[in-house]
């Protein structure tokens, strides 16, 4: 078949191949990657295909194989990450479960802090990360110390509520 036909056939096949990929993965990003990979492989074999039906059959097969390849790569990446975490945890004396819980808590804390108003977030960062005292924060921001205390208290309550919603407290 002529290369000029590839574009029209590829456009007609794309929705079907995307549906196949979405059924395999359950999401669109990995399906898009699989279809793209299949289309590239189809392009290299295009010259040898005698009919459009053969191209369709090959495209479906290539998409299935691309889905499997992507799933294997994802699985390998996850396993390598877990092994790396276990190596780090073994050297620090923590279990993988403890490290995972700690990471989830840090992520939840970061999400909770991101929900604060900018002024609260700024004061909270000075207090929690820079470990500044209330008087130091007041001097650095030109905000009255009582106001700093009140804003930090409000921020603390908001963070605690978010952590409770997430099941961390």
The percent of residues above 90 in pLDDT, for the chain, comes to 29
| pLDDT recorded at residue 78 | 67
**14, 73: one domain:** yes
pLDDT given at position 65? 93
Establish if 67 belongs to a structural domain: yes
Query: Same domain for 104 and 66?
Result: no
Q: Is the dihedral of CA 140, 145, 149, 150 positive or negative?
A: negative
The whole-number pLDDT of residue 90 equals 58
pLDDT tens across the length of the chain (169 residues): 566 788 888 889 999 999 999 898 776 788 899 999 999 998 888 888 888 888 899 999 999 999 998 888 877 776 776 676 666 555 566 666 777 788 888 888 888 888 888 888 888 888 988 888 999 999 988 999 999 999 999 999 998 998 888 887 7
- 144, two tokens: 């009255």
Residue 146 lies in a domain: yes
Give a yes or no: residue 90 inside a domain.
no
Total domains present in the chain: 2
Assess whether 109 and 80 both reside in one domain. no
Residue that terminates a domain, selected from 49, 84, 119? 84
CATH number at residue 121: 1.10.10.10
Final residue before a domain boundary, out of 53, 84, 115:
84
Distance between CA atoms of 23 and 141, rounded to whole angstroms?
Answer: 54
The answer to whether residue 89 sits within a structural domain is: no
Task: Note the pTM of the prediction, 2 decimals.
Answer: 0.48
In order of 3, 40, 55, 87, 109, the CA distances from 70 in angstroms are: 27, 15, 22, 26, 32
pLDDT for 37 equals: 92
DSSP 8-state secondary structure symbol assigned to residue 130: S
The pLDDT assigned to 7 comes to 84
9 with 78, same domain?
yes
Domain hosting 42: range is: 4-84
Q: Is residue 110 part of a domain?
A: yes
**80 and 102 both lie in a single domain:** no
């Amino acid at each position: 078949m002529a290369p000029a036909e590839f574009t029209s056939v590829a456009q007609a096949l794309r929705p079907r191949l995307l549906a196949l990929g979405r059924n395999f993965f359950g999401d669109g990003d990995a399906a898009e990657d699989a279809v793209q990979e299949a289309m590239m492989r189809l392009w290299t074999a295009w010259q040898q295909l005698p009919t459009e039906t053969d191209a369709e059959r090959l495209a479906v097969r290539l998409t299935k194989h691309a889905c499997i390849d992507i799933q294997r790569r994802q699985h390998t990446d996850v396993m390598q990450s877990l092994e790396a975490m276990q190596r780090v945890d073994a050297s620090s004396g923590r279990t993988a479960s403890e490290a995972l819980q700690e990471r989830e808590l840090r992520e939840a804390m970061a999400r909770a802090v991101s929900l604060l108003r900018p002024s609260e977030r700024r004061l909270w960062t000075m207090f929690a990360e820079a470990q500044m005292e209330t008087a130091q924060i007041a001097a650095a921001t030109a905000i009255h110390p009582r106001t700093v205390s009140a804003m930090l208290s409000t921020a603390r309550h908001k963070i605690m509520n978010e952590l409770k919603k997430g099941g961390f407290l």
